[in-house]
Amino acid sequence: MRVLYVDDDRVNSLLFAEVARKAKGVVVEVAGSAAEALEAQERNAADLLVLDLHLPDDDGIQLLARLRHQAGRQVPAYLCSADDPSLIEARARAAGFEACWNKPLDVPLVLSALRRHVTAVDGPA
């Protein structure tokens, strides 16, 4: 399963990639901006999107619609933010995100979601 992780903070990107390695069958591509994410999605469409809310050239909620339009399908997605979840959760869900993950990431929660999506994409091991 291909995951596109979009965050302009390089440390967060490295941490996510390291966490995702623990979920077998996950390959992470990292983008540091909305423009990079759109290029990555054009090259090789992701099976799952994980988007930071605050990007230097867009906002993760607006980017989701653009990435899904480009993919031509409703790619599952999670929003990541250090903002208070109670302030953004409803907006994220209304935009079509499955959930809003707070930073720092809850590793067991992220792994559980990744493993669930791997099974949905690849089938049971």
- The domain in which residue 84 lies consists of 2-122
Is the pLDDT score of 125 beyond 60? Answer: no
- Reported as a single tens digit per residue, the pLDDT across 94-121 is 999 999 999 999 999 999 999 999 988 7
Residue 120: what pLDDT?
85
Q: Given its phi and psi angles, is residue 25 left (phi above 0), alpha (psi -120 to 50 degrees) or beta? A: left
Residue 124: what pLDDT?
59
pTM, rounded to two decimals: 0.95
Distance of alpha carbon 120 from alpha carbon 98, whole angstroms: 14
Is the pLDDT score of 2 beyond 80? Answer: yes
Is 21:50 a contact under the CB 8 Å cutoff? Answer: no
- Reported as a single tens digit per residue, the pLDDT across 16-65 is 999 999 999 999 999 999 999 999 999 999 999 999 999 999 999 999 99
Q: Determine the average pLDDT of the residues in 59-75.
A: 96
Beta bridge partners of 59: 54
Contacts of residue 125, defined as CB under 8 A and 6 or more positions apart, other chains included, come to 24, 119
Domain count, the chain: 1
Quote the crossing angle between the two packed helices 60-71 and 85-95, to the nearest 10°.
20
The DSSP result for 65-118, as a single string, is HHHHHHHTS---EEEEESS-HHHHHHHHHHHT-SEEEESSP-HHHHHHHHHHHH
- What CATH code is carried by the domain that includes residue 76? 3.40.50.2300
